[in-house]
Chains A and B, each alone.
Chain A
Amino acid sequence: MSRRWTRRELRDKNLVSAKGFNREYDQIKGILNGGVDRTATLNGWATRERILDNALHTTVLTENVAMAPSYLTSGNSGFMFDALTYDNFAGGWLLNSSVTTTGLKEGMVHLEFSCFAWFNDALSTANNKGVKFQLTWNGTVVAETGYYYQPWPNPYMVADFPISGDGTLSLFFAYPQPLPDSDTTTGNVAQLFFGGGQLLFINTVR
């Protein structure tokens, strides 16, 4: 039991001595000065206004996530998007963007990513084209899509994982290369673009 309001009651009809008063009063003062706990407070008193911001969770929303400008080629493909081309895609997973967080606490993270995408599926029966996306936390894969094969997909990823504090969240994408025989004439034609994306990151404190 954390509190003890009464040490020894002052006896009725006695003169109040300083020592006796001090003994009783110090109990109250000691509890109020850093000793109040859940046995001494009402149930249901803690409403939102009494809770410090970020005490329970922190939300980070990254808006307008799109293919990094360094991957975009323009002007080669009529009215097609500025986009990734075969000439500037060397295969494998491409790092699109990273976010290094600050102020996160040990606990869990809920992560959501949503965007729209387009890819040029010309000659796709020969090349089995598709696009896929991946999210990593400090280099560990936390979410990965399968291949999207339709020309206008809406990539979507959700992940929940534990963290020990701040780190780096990265978005990757991959797009298979063509067979050389089929696409030697289309090396600089637009192939892939994604945009209109948002990355939602909710850190709940342990």
Chain B
Amino acid sequence: MPLITNTDFTPGTLVVATALNAKFTDVQTATTGGAGTGLGPENFRDESIDALQFDMSTTGGGDNGIVLVATLMVDNALGTSGGTAYTSTINTNLPDPVDHGGVNPRLTWLAGQDLEDNDILRVRWSVFMESVVMNPALYVMDGIFNNDNPVWLIWLQWDITSNALANWVEVPNQGDLRDSFVNAEGSLCSECQATMVVPHGFLTYDGIATPHADLANLTMQRGWSYINETGVTITVYGIRMVIGGIYHPLNSVNTGNANAFAKDNANPGWSGETVTLANARMAAIFMRAS
């Protein structure tokens, strides 16, 4: 307890060096930093801390570490046209990085950005879908079969190994869409917390004409957050989007568990569909969680 509790000299007492030194030793003890010593809450009066007392040194972005630790944004500088086409693949292929438009829309930290214990990482991203090319002979938007309700998925990966950026893995609470189900592979919906859905076509049904049409000019946005409660610091070197398709829903009867996204293992119709993405943006905020 850093309060000074010694008593006054009795008036009339001869003040000797030893007793005097003991008084000042008490002050030294109360104010010297270390385990159990040093000024603490008992020493400060109410409203004793003002804005001036906070360490406001920053790197220019308001990130003094008291609440905000770091921020970073990226934009691939495309508008609503001139995008890159991605082609659907069979299930054995890895997803494609969303890596288009000349400016790589991924977040990177050359020296790594620490996500300390009890820090939170917040990532927000948006994508402009320029167009899809859909084969209506293969898909229906409202059907009940295993090639119906087609959707592209864009999800997040990060590299927490080095700035070589050669070890991308899915962010926490995000699956890699390669878990095995019966005649299919994908991920449970509960493991798709960093997944953005992109519809592969839409329904325009008048009861007579062809009901399914290509979709175009759609903006999508998504957010994902993660609090580091591992007890150790995670150093993040990069965050990127990846795209895979074409997926469809699976329910608990099909998965034996719960709802999931999946690619069918043996359906050649999954290959060759395309989606074109133009503008892509991503922003990350590192901050203290409390």
CB within 8 Å of B: which residues of A? 2, 16-19, 21-22, 25-26, 28-29, 32-38, 41-48, 51, 53-54, 56-59, 61, 63-64, 66, 74-75, 77-83, 112, 114, 116-118, 120-126, 150-154, 156, 189-190, 193, 195-198, 200
**Is B157 interfacial (CB-CB < 8 Å)?**
no
User: Interface size for chain B: under 10, 10 to 19, 20 to 34, or 35 or more residues?
Assistant: 35 or more
Taking the closest CB of chain B, its distance from the CB of A76, in whole angstroms, is: 9
Q: Which among B23, B52, B197, B251 has the highest number of chain A CB atoms within 10 Å?
A: B251
A79-B205 CB under 8 A given contacts A122-B142, A152-B151: no
Query: Are B53 and A196 in contact (CB-based, < 8 A)?
Result: no
Closest to B258 in A: A82
Binds A, one of B6-14, B86-94, B101-109: B6-14
A150-B202 CB under 8 A given contacts A18-B9, A75-B253: yes
Residue numbers in B under 8 Å from A46 (CB-CB) = 49, 53-55, 66
Q: CB < 8 Å: which of A41, A74, A121, A197 contacts B53?
A: A41
Q: List 14 A-B contacts (CB under 8 A).
A: A34-B45, A36-B43, A46-B55, A61-B225, A75-B251, A80-B144, A81-B259, A116-B195, A121-B141, A125-B206, A152-B151, A195-B189, A196-B189, A198-B224
Query: Are B43 and A64 in contact (CB-based, < 8 A)?
Result: no
Query: Are B199 and A150 in contact (CB-based, < 8 A)?
Result: yes
A33-B66 CB under 8 A given contacts A66-B189, A77-B144, A121-B141: no
A196-B195 CB under 8 A given contacts A41-B48, A125-B205, A150-B218: yes
Closest to A79 in B: B146
Bound form: Cα–Cα A115–B226 in Å: 15
Closest to B227 in A: A61
Bound form: Cα–Cα A78–B172 in Å: 31
Within 8 A of A (CB), among B190-241: 190, 192-199, 202-207, 215, 218, 220-227
**Is B138 interfacial (CB-CB < 8 Å)?**
no
Beyond A22-B11, A122-B203, 8 additional contacts (C-beta under 8 Å) are: A38-B50, A41-B49, A42-B53, A59-B289, A79-B249, A121-B142, A125-B207, A195-B189
Taking the closest CB of chain B, its distance from the CB of A127, in whole angstroms, is: 10
